[in-house]
Structures are given as C-alpha cells and as structure tokens.
Chains A and B, each alone.
Chain A
Amino acid sequence: MSSNDTFDALSRAMARRASRRTAIKGGAALASAGVISGAALSSSSGVAAQDGANITFWFDTTGGAETAQCLIDNIVNPFNAQGGTQVEATMQPNGWTATQTALAGGAGPDIVVTPGPTYVMELAKAGQLLNLDEAAAAHGWDQTVLPWALDLGRVDGSIYSIPHEVESLVLWYNATLFDEHGWEVPNTMDELITLSQAVQDAGLIPFAHGNQEWRPANEWFVGEWLNQLAGPDLVYAALTGEAQWTDPAFVDAISKLNDMQQNGWFYGGLDRYYTGASADTASSLAYGDSAMKIEGTWFFSDAMMFFEESGQEWGWAPFPSTDGTDIFDLGIGSTYSINARTAAPEASAEFLNYWFSPEAQGIAVSVCGMGPAPVSIPEELLEGIDARQAAMINAVADASAAGNYGYTTWTFFPPKTITFLIENIERVWAGDLSVEDFLAEMQSVFDPELAAGDVPPLPARS
C-alpha cells in the first residue's frame, strides 16, 4: 500500500472515530442505565454521608473530552440523580498540572486524580491528601479492591489512593498478515526474534512503533524487556534493593532490545521511530505494512477503529517471555484520592465507593472504553464488549490474582529513574552510551530514590 493510500485511510478513519464511539455509547448506555441506577447506588449508600454535600471532581480532557463526557453522562449524573451528595464535574484540560498547581495553592477539587502512585507519594508526604484508612474500613474496600492494587495506594502503611485503569503491555498483531504468510504467534523471545527477521525478509516492518507524540513510549520497551527477559522476580529484587540493575540478565535484556532497534525492526529505523506518530503506526499495522505492535491494553479502541477501516483482522497475545510463561506487566493509568482540605470527607468517600463499584466500572469499561479498575467486574456487566477485549481483561485479572505479573516502569519505578531511562535509552540506541554504562548510571540514579523511600509500594511476589 502506498503512503498516500495510508494517509487517506488514516484521515477517513479519524473522521469516523467519533461517530463509532458515539454509537457504542448510545446502545450500551441504554442497556446499563438500569444496572447503574439500581445496584451501584444502593451499594454505595452503606455509610451515611453528609446530607446534600457538594463535592468537586475534575476530569482531565487533555486527550479529548469524549471519554470524560461519557463518564459524566453515564456514571456521575446517575449518582447526582439519586439526591443527597452532588458531584460537580468539571472538564479540565491539562488536568494533572491544574490539580498540582491548585493543591499547592491550598485549593483543588475534593476528588484528586493523579497519573500514578509516584505522584500520590509526593502529595501524601506534603500532607495534601486525606488518609483513607477509615474510609476503606467503613466501605470494605479491602474486600472489593484487589489486594495488590490497594497496597499500591499506601504511603507509610496508610491508604491514600485507589488505583484506577489497570493496564498491561501486550503483543498486538495483524492476524490477516500472519495467516497470509503462515506465521505463528510467538511464545518466547527467541521465537519473536526469528519471526521479526522473517517479517523483515518479507519486505515488511516487524513492529509498528513510534514515539513522536509520546516520548515516554521508550519506557514501555525498556520495562517490558527487563521483565520478560530477566524476569519479574529479578526486577522485584532490583526495585527492593536486593539486586542491582547492572545484573548480567538485565544487560542481556537491554542488549537484545538494542539489537532489535539497530536492526530497524521498530518501524524501519531509528529516524522513523522518532518521527512515527500513533496514528501512523496504528495505520501501518492495520493495513499490513507492519506485522506487530507492543502497546498497552488501551490500544483496543484504536485497534477496533483502524482494523475496521482496513478490513483486516487483529489479534493479541501476551508478550513473549524467555521461557514462554505468560507474564503481564501490571500498570495503573491513574489514581483517585481525597483532598486533605475537603469540607466533605465522608461524601467524597461515598462517591469514591460508588465510582469503584463493579457496576460503575462495568459502565466505564463497556460504554466509555476505559481500562477496568482493579475490582472484580461480573461478566454480565461486560456483556456486549468485543470477545478479544473481554479475554484480555480476564487474562490480566487472572495474572494479577495468580501472581504472574511484572512491573511497568510508570507505576512501580521512582520518578527520576523513569525520566533517566526514557531519556537515556535513546543514547544507547544512538551509540553514545553502552548498555553496561546505561544500567550503571540507572543504578546510580535509582539508589538515592530507594534510600529516600520514593519507590512505590511493591506487591510482594507469591
């Protein structure tokens, strides 16, 4: 397919995106309205809240207001309709920056949303978040929220946040292309390397990757290679200070990542990788110019849209590990807390309890296309979603329950280490820094953060 065809298809797909989502919302919202207004609301009223309290909640609209509006229409408005506590929902571009600034100035919304546990630690240490231990006990969150996720919200042993949007990185592939060439979905890293060479030999691009719009995409690959090749046990040991990032297993993992990048397997070369936008790479995968893509579970809606446009089929698989064991690196898209200065702590807790109810989360997933919160969502609440997405949600949930999980960088690594690896892996790829020096420098950045207690709480390995 020519580049012009791809661009035209891309433009058409972008234009259709909104209408398709609207259609999904319309049907599913009607189907779920009864569920949310009945079960969720009754379950959320177990603890008395301040009568008629008003609380504020800022929805981040940086990536577009469509999802935020969907959540307001289908989750917040039914909550308000029951009377009692009223939630004043506000669309807020650059939501995190606005929240951070407002909190520093002694204001901010009652419900505080952050991009991850690292940010919660900073806010909690600064006394800007409410201790949620009492609320958790009153509402029984230890029974509804998965244990590893609840632990992730702890700072110095107390709960300050509840994680939202459980994510993982998986291998997406063009199933039509695989069928045409007779390729098998790889289970191990060796199989993946062999397949990548075969794809390149066929004149195609093995991976549709680019970081132009989101430079932190670099960390997806570093984290995935560390977890899947060196193993999550060793990553856990390094994050707890029991192992070093300079371990030979990590050196081997990053060396393999570097080899694949140098081979031009990531979108045809480094220069293409650095200038590849998300729509370019998604289109490349959907139209069969590229065979695979390593991206988060959030890619589902884009996969649906671009493959519908191309008329080809997509599939997903756990990212190949060294020995073929299915390991899902767990991540969190955002966290929810309560502002320490709120005038309505009980009403805020009541709303959080409602927000994290299986019913509300069922709506968030099936109607608004969000990643699920770490709560058990009954299958009947997920009816109507694509079977592949349902399988993905179940696989990640099963892995987290069984302990077959690794650690995404953006959730479990401290902030300076994250920034270091995002910035400096590019120096490795550019040949300015050896893999050994990269990991040694990473260790020197990580050590003070570990000593300062800046590593987010890690669920213990079973």
Chain B
Amino acid sequence: MSAANPRLDLTVTHPKVRFWQTLFFRRKIVPWLFVLPILLINVSVVLGPAISSVYYSMTEWSGVGEARFIGLDNFRRLLLEDRSFRVAFRNNLLWLGIFLTLPMAMALTAASLLAPIKRGALFYRLTLFLPYVLPSVITASIWRNLMHPDRGVGAQLSEWGISGFDRAFLGDPKTVLPAIAFVDNWHWWGFLMVLFLASMQNISQDLYEAARLDGANRWQEFRDVTIPGIRPTLVFMVLMTAIWSFLTFDYVWILTQGGPAGSSEVLASLVVKNAIQRFEAGYASAIGLTMSVFVGIIISIFVLLRRRGWEI
C-alpha cells in the first residue's frame, strides 16, 4: 500500500439554491403572489370601506367632513324611533316571501316541462332567458308603460270589455309592492328556470325509468327524482334569493323611489335617502350594517342546518 494514498474528498457541493427556487416558496408564497393583486383591490374597495362603515355607523356624519362618534345611538334610533325602517324591513320580508315562492315555483314548473323537449329547446330557453339580460332601467320602463292605466295593457283589456286591470297599480299603496315584484320577477324567473333546467339534465334517465317501472306518475317523478336531483342548485338559489331580497333596490328606485306614502320603501332605498338626500351618511351606514346582519343571519341558518345533517 502506498503511503501516498491520497484521501478522497467526498464532500458534495450542492449548487446554490436561491429562496425563490425552494419548495416552500413555490408552494406557500407563489399562490399568494398570484392572488395578491386582486386581494389588494378587494381590501381597498371592499374590505376597507366595509370596515370603515362599521365605524361610521357609530358616528354622526354628513358624508363630507368630520364624523362625530356617538356610540350606538344610530342603532337605538333605528330600532326604537324610525317608522320608515320598520316599514322598509317589513317590505323586505314580504319581498323575501314573494321571491322564495313565486319565481321558484314558476321556474321549477317551466324547467320540468321544458326538460323533455328536444325540438326547439334552444328557442324556448332563449325566449325565457332574454328578459334577464335586459338592463333593469329598460325592463322597468317597459312595464311602467304596460301598466299605465290609460295606455297600458289594462286600458286595452278594458276596451275589449275586460275590466279591473286599467288601474294605476304603481300608484296604489295596496298594490305597489306586488306590482314592482311582478316586474322584477318577469326578468328574474327565466334565469332561475335555465339554472334548474341545466341541473335537471344532469339527472340520470335511469332514475326516471326506474320510477316509471315502479308506477310513479309525473308528480311523483318530479317530487322524488327531480327535486332530490337538483337539490344543490335549488338550495343554492334559495340562499342567494334570500340574500338578494334584503339587498333589492333597482326596480323599487326606478319605479317608485319607495312611494307612494312609503308603501314600497325597502332598506336599500332608505340607505340612499339618508346618505344622499338627508346628509346622514352615518345613520345610512347603520342601516347598511343592519342589512348585512340580516344577511349574515340567513347564511348562518343555512350553515347551522347543514352541520346538523340537513341535506341542503
């Protein structure tokens, strides 16, 4: 053995790994970098104002200049003194009741009738969906004229001897809210129908055939096959309808601005009036925050029922 047996240097030299080449960076940091731009926008235009509105709801603020902190006084006034708030809240509940029943029933019925149709299916779907893509201002203007007591559909029916429809539905406190809901529903239910129809077409035909073999009639097919088959879509739309019912604004504002005599006032129109017309942006923030609380309660109920095992 030679004394000059050189010792092998077995040290492995790794190429230098930079931080952005590490697994940690790729898995934990990179996704956040992709999200960061929209996150920053969201924080600045949604989260920031949302948090600031919590503060402003506890201030006396005109919308310009300094805000004066007054604690919970806006909420005390809202709940104990403001008649308009109570009327608007009641109207939002009525609105919720209308939109959780009428358009749902219409959309489910139409979707189940259209589902088996193959020839001309696209035509029917487009026709019923079309009102949804019209701007609310256009839809409201169309129906404002159609419901006009002198030149609308009612006046024409009256000329043909069918009386009772030549009324100013939007000018009568008893009929104004259902009349606005009718207009809103005209544009809304077609959208619901298309969603339900798309969901129904994912239901296996085997289930319907099995039901028929068991002697199920059309109603039983609908109740025991169709409804369970579209349950996720149905529940999602019930949830969204409930949320949107508390935020409804455009048709009310365009058609009546809450009148006559406050009979079509909703919470969102009350926010606008207080913030813009009365220079009470602080109080308007309190109403807005209350609307968010109502929506939060609805979402919480759904989450709670799911946790308790309800199939929704």
Contact = CB atoms under 8 A, between A and B. Distances in A.
B171 A273 contact: yes
Which 4 A-B pairs have CB atoms at the shortest separation, nearest pair first? A126-B65, A274-B171, A271-B171, A271-B168
B278 A427 contact: no
29 contacts: A3-B150, A3-B155, A4-B151, A6-B151, A122-B63, A126-B65, A127-B65, A128-B65, A212-B144, A212-B170, A215-B256, A215-B259, A270-B171, A271-B167, A271-B171, A274-B172, A274-B256, A274-B259, A274-B260, A275-B148, A275-B170, A280-B150, A416-B280, A419-B278, A423-B84, A426-B259, A429-B261, A430-B173, A430-B263
Contacts of B172: 271, 274
Interface string B151-193: 1000100000000000110111100000000000000000000
B29 to A, nearest CB: 34
Contacts, number: 87
Size bracket of the A interface: 20 to 34
Query: Interface residues of A: mostly helix, strand, loop or mixed?
Result: helix
Interface string A202-224: 00000000011001000000000
Interface in A149-195: none
Most buried by A among B66, B171, B173: B171
Contacts of B125: none
Interface string A263-281: 0000000111111000010
Contacts of B276: 97
Contact of A270 (B148, B260, B279): B260
Query: Interface residues of B: mostly helix, strand, loop or mixed?
Result: loop
A386 interface: no
Contacts of B117: none
A219 to B, nearest CB: 11
Contacts of B256: 215, 274
Given A270-B171, A275-B149, A430-B261, A419 B65 contact: no
A426 B258 CA distance: 11
B62 interface: yes
Interface in B14-40: none
Interface in A258-303: 270-275, 280
Contacts of B262: 423, 426-427
A123 B171 CA distance: 36
A218 B220 CA distance: 56
Contacts of B65: 122, 125-128
Given A100-B63, A419-B273, A430 B260 contact: yes
Given A122-B63, A126-B62, 17 more contacts: A6-B151, A122-B64, A125-B65, A126-B65, A128-B64, A128-B65, A212-B171, A271-B167, A271-B171, A416-B278, A419-B278, A423-B84, A423-B273, A426-B259, A426-B262, A427-B261, A430-B261
Contact of B257 (A103, A215, A272, A416): A215
